[in-house]
Structure 1
Amino acid sequence: MPKIEVNSVDYNSLIGADFKNIASSKKGVKHHVPAYILVATALIGILIVSVVLAQTYQPSPNTSYLSAIAELTKTTKQQNKDSNLKIALPLKPVIEQSQSQTIALQEPSENKQEIIVTNETIDELEIIPTEPIIEAADVTVVVNKGDTLSSIFSKLDIHNELTRILNLGKQAKPFKKIYPGQKLHFTFGGDGIDKLELEKSITKSLVLYRDNDTFITEETDRELDRISQVATGTINQSLFLAGQDAGMSDGLIMGLAGIFGWDIDFALDIRQGDSFTVVYEELFLEGEKVDDGNIIAAEFVNNNEIYRAYRYTDSNDKTEYYSPDGKSMRKPFMRTPVDLARISSHFNLKRKHPVLNKIRAHKGVDYAASTGTAIKATGDGKVVHRGRKGGYGNTIILRHGNTYTTLYAHMSKYAGKTGVGSRVKQGQIIGYIGSTGLATGPHLHYEFRVNGVHRNPLKVKLPSANPLPDSEMDRFQASIQPMIVQLDAYSQNALVMRDL
C-alpha cells in the first residue's frame, strides 16, 4: 500500500496564543481562560472541520486519484498532526438506481468516497479499492446505433456477466444481433443480473433468468388487445385528405384503396361526394395503443355504386377480402400499376404525339408522378422483356398466361429480381418512374394487351376471381353477419349526418 506523508502543522503555538475577542479588547477587568479549555476547543474545531470536509468533498469524474489525494493533503496541513484521515475511494463507478427507470448509457457523472475520521495516530492515507455496487431493482436500456451487448454491459460495469450469457450458445443468439430502438430490461439482485429481457417486437421477448451460476432462457409472447373502431368520410378533394379528416392513418388509407383497387381506379374514378365506411382494429398492449390492426369490413360508394368487402379466413387458414356474395376482391389484375397517381394522357388512337408533333396512336395510359415512384406489376406473370425499347426507353413486358401481356415504359431504373425469365407477383415492385426514351417528363406509360391487341387499360373487362367454394359459403355467411350489421348501422348514420 502506498504511503503519502502529510505535512503536520504545529498547533502548540496556536493553542498557546492569546486569543482575544471583541469584548476582551475593551477596558476593564481581564478574565483568563484556562489553557486546557482552549486545547479542547481547538481539538473539537479540528474534528468538525474534518467531518465537514468529508461530507462536502466530491471529486468530479475526471479528477484522478492523485489529484484527489493532493487536495486532501493540502487541506490536512491546517490540522493537528495527531489528527488523521482514512480514505476509501472506489476504483470503479458506482451504479445506484433506487427505482425502476429508463436510462441513457453514459459514464457515471460522479464517484463517491468514504472518509473515516479516527482518533488514532496514522500518518498515511489508505486507498481502499471497493467493488461496484448495484442497488437498482430495474434498469431499462434503449439500444442506440452502434451499441453492442458488450458495450452496453461495459457501460453498466457488469461485463463479467457477459461471458456466462454468451456461453449459452444458440439460446443467446438473439442477443448478439440487437438493433436500434430495441429495449433491454435488466433486473439486478445481490449476485448481479437476476433477469434480462430483450424486446424483439411489440409482443415477443426473449428472457434470461439466473439459475445459480448460469442462465436459462424463455421466449414470451404477450397478447394484444384488439378493439374495433370505425371511420367514415366523404371525399371533397382526395381520398387521402378525406381519410385523414376521418382520423385514419396513412396505412389504413392505403389498405382501403388496396381492398377496392381491383374495382375502382382511385386515380381516375373518384368523384366529389363519394364516401366510405371502414371498420378496423386498434391494437393495445397494457392499456396503450401500439398500432392499427386489420380492416375488418369496408364500404365504398363510388358514383352512387356501393362496393362492400369483408375479411374472412377460410377452413384452410387462408385470409382474404370477399364481396357479400363470396367473390374474392382480389382479381387477376389490378386496374392501375401506380398508387394514386395522376393520369396525364389517356388511351387514344388519334392522339398528337407531344414530342414528334404528329398524329400517333397512344395505345396506353400515362401516369404522371415524381421520378423514383414505385411501379407495381398489375398481375402475376413472367418477365419476357427488360431493357431499352426505342421511344419507350427502359421497359419491362410481362406475360400473364397465354392471353394477356402488360407493358411498363420510361422507367428510371428496374427493381431487383426482374430479369428476363423471372416470375413476379401481383403488386410486386418491378421498377421506378422516370423519363427515359421519348418523354416530356417523368411518367409511366402502361399498356394492356389481350391476345396481342391493345386495349384501353381503364375500360377493358378484366377476368374475375374464383368465388369461395360452396362448402365454405355457410361458414362465410355466418362469419360476416355481425360485420354486415355494423356496416349497415354506421353507413346509415353517416348518410344522416351528411344530409344535415
Structure 2
Amino acid sequence: MTKHSIHEQKAKPSYPRIHLMAAAACSAVMILALTLLPSPDATATKTVRLKTNIAPQEPLVELAEELVEEQLAEAPAEPIATYQWQDEKVRNGDTLSHIFKRVGLNSKDVYDVMSGDGDVALLKKIHPGQTMRFAIEEQQLVALEYVMSRTDSLLIEREGDHYSADMQIKELVPYTSYAEGTIDSSLFLAAQKAGLSEGMTMELANIFGWDVDFVLDIRQGDSFRVIYQEMHLDGEKVKDGEILAAQFTNQGETFTAIRYESADRGASYFTPEGDSMRKAFLRSPISFARISSHFNLSRKHPVLHTIRAHKGTDYAASRGTPIKATGDGKVIFAGVKGGYGKVVILQHGQKYRTLYAHMNNYAKGVRSGARVRQGQTIGYVGSTGLATGPHLHYEFYVNGAVRNPVTVKLPHAEPIPKQDKDAFLAIAQQMVGQLSTYAAAMESEKVANLGQ
C-alpha cells in the first residue's frame, strides 16, 4: 500500500477538492482490493496494511475526505535555514579533534563548540558509524549536525560569538496493520509468514503467556489475529509499534486482548470484559523452555533411583539461561539447600510461595529480604545439587501445600478501574469488531479464490 510521506521534496499541485475526493475514493477501493489479494506462498496467513485510525465500517466517502485532508495538511514546511553540508562518518578511535581536523577545523573550534549552550555534552558520546555534518562558510563553522539515529540529531548553530545546541527529533508516523495466521509447527514460523517481526511475535506471546504455555500447550491448527502498529519515517518502517488488539485460539479456546492506556496507570492488556490479561503469576519462569519432567508425587528419582515425590516441574534449558520471578514477591531464601543445590524461594503475600532450584548462579541483588518484580531475572539455569544436567526445578505452593505449576489456577491481577470502565468497553467493542471484520474479509477472499 502506498504511504503518504510528510517529507516531499517538491510542492504538490493544487487540484479542486471534489476531484481530490473522487480520486481518493477510487484509490481507497483499489487499496482495499489489492491488500486483500492473497500472496502466492501464504494460504493460511495474510497481512493487510491500513491507514491509521480508520475503522473498517467507515463509509468510503468519509475515508476519501480523511485522505484528502491528510494530503492537504502534509504540505512540507519551508526550512528555516539551509546549509551546504559536509558529511563525516565517525571512525573507530575518533575524537572530536580528529573529525574537526579532517574538515579543516582546529582545536579552538572544538573548544568553542563544547563551550556552547544546550546539550553540547552529547558530543562526548560519539560512536563509530554515526554521522557528523559540518556547514563551513569562509573557513568558519556556522553549523554542526550530530546525527545520532534516524530520528534523533543534535543541531548546533552559531549565534553571534557563541554556539547553541538544540535536539531535533523527527516524529514517527504510526500505520495500523492487521495480520493473521494458523500454526502448523510453531508460533514463530506462522508469525513470520504473516509478516510479523521477531519482536512483535515475542510481544504477542507475552500478552497471552499467562493463559497459554507456548511450549507445552501449542497445537497444530491454533491460530492468531492481531491489529498492530508500525512506526514509519519518510515512508519507510523504522520500528514496530504497539499491539492494539489480538486474539489467540489454543485447542479450541479463544483468548482476546485489548490494549488500554490511562494517564495514571500506563498501558496494559485486558479482556473485552475489562479483566486483566496479566495474572498475578507467570505460567512459566523460563521463556520457551521444554518441560523435561512433570509434577509427579510418585516419581522415581533419576539420581537416587528411589520413589520420591517430584513436587515441581523441570524445565530443560542451556546453562546460563535467565530465570524469571513468576510473580511480585520477597526473597525469603537464597542459598544452597541440600539436593536443590543453589535455590531461591519467593514469598508472594500470605498465600503463595515459589521455589527455583539447581541454579548456576543468582542474579545481582537477589538475596534474602530483597523485593523482586514479576518477570525480573533472579538467577540462571545450572545443575547444582542432585541434577543430571542443566535445568530449572520449579515449585508452586498455595497456603503451604504444593501444587502442580502447570495446572494450578492462577489469580488475576487488578481489572480495569471503575472510572475507566465505560471508556474501555467502548474501545474494546470497536477493536473486537475490527478483528472480526478483517477476519471475515480475509475468509471471503479465500472462498472467492477457491471458486476461480
With the length of structure 2 as denominator, give the TM-score of the two structures: 0.77
Kindly indicate whether residue 416 of structure 2 is the aligned counterpart of residue 468 of structure 1: yes
State the Cα deviation string for residues 368-423 of structure 1 (Å, max 9, x = none): 11111111110111111112211111111111111111111111122112122111
Matches within 5 A, 1:84-483: 137-159=84-106, 160-168=108-116, 171-316=119-264, 318-483=266-431
State the Cα deviation string for residues 447-491 of structure 1 (Å, max 9, x = none): 111122110001111111221122211111223343222211233
| Residue 165 (structure 1) shift | 0.7
Structure 2 contact 118–166 (Cα < 8 Å) conserved: no
- 1:269 aligns to what SS in structure 2? coil
Equivalent-residue separation in structure 2 for 1:497 and 1:459 (angstroms): 40
Structure 1 contact 277–490 (Cα < 8 Å) conserved: no
State the Cα deviation string for residues 199-240 of structure 1 (Å, max 9, x = none): 344433221011233211212222101111122111111111
RMSD: 2.0
- 1:300 aligns to what SS in structure 2? strand
- 2:215 aligns to what SS in structure 1? coil
Q: Which amino acid aligns with 1:157?
A: G
Higher-Rg structure is 1
Structure 2 contact 119–167 (Cα < 8 Å) conserved: no
Residues 198 and 317 of structure 1, relative CA distance in 2, 3 Å threshold: farther
Aligned length: 365
Equivalent-residue separation in structure 2 for 1:409 and 1:318 (angstroms): 34
Equivalent-residue separation in structure 1 for 2:425 and 2:190 (angstroms): 31
State the Cα deviation string for residues 149-181 of structure 1 (Å, max 9, x = none): 222223333124211011126631111122344
| Residue 271 (structure 1) shift | 1.0
Structure 2 contact 118–165 (Cα < 8 Å) conserved: no
Equivalent-residue separation in structure 2 for 1:226 and 1:444 (angstroms): 41
Equivalent-residue separation in structure 2 for 1:496 and 1:431 (angstroms): 50
Equivalent-residue separation in structure 2 for 1:370 and 1:495 (angstroms): 42
- 1:472 aligns to what SS in structure 2? helix
| Residue 496 (structure 1) shift | 6.1
| Residue 326 (structure 1) shift | 0.9
Equivalent-residue separation in structure 2 for 1:220 and 1:481 (angstroms): 39
Q: Which amino acid aligns with 1:385?
A: F
- 2:119 aligns to what SS in structure 1? helix
| Residue 498 (structure 1) shift | 8.0
State the Cα deviation string for residues 21-62 of structure 1 (Å, max 9, x = none): xxxxxxxxxxxxxxxxxxxxxxxxxxxxxxxxxxxxxxxxxx
Residues 450 and 180 of structure 1, relative CA distance in 2, 3 Å threshold: farther
Residues 154 and 368 of structure 1, relative CA distance in 2, 3 Å threshold: same
Structure 2 contact 135–141 (Cα < 8 Å) conserved: yes
Structure 1 contact 392–409 (Cα < 8 Å) conserved: yes
Equivalent-residue separation in structure 2 for 1:464 and 1:158 (angstroms): 63
- 1:489 aligns to what SS in structure 2? helix
| Residue 437 (structure 1) shift | 1.4
Equivalent-residue separation in structure 2 for 1:465 and 1:317 (angstroms): 13
With the length of structure 1 as denominator, give the TM-score of the two structures: 0.69
| Residue 349 (structure 1) shift | 0.2
Matches within 5 A, 1:65-80: none
Q: Which amino acid aligns with 1:244?
A: Q
Equivalent-residue separation in structure 2 for 1:140 and 1:176 (angstroms): 18
Q: Which amino acid aligns with 1:292?
A: D
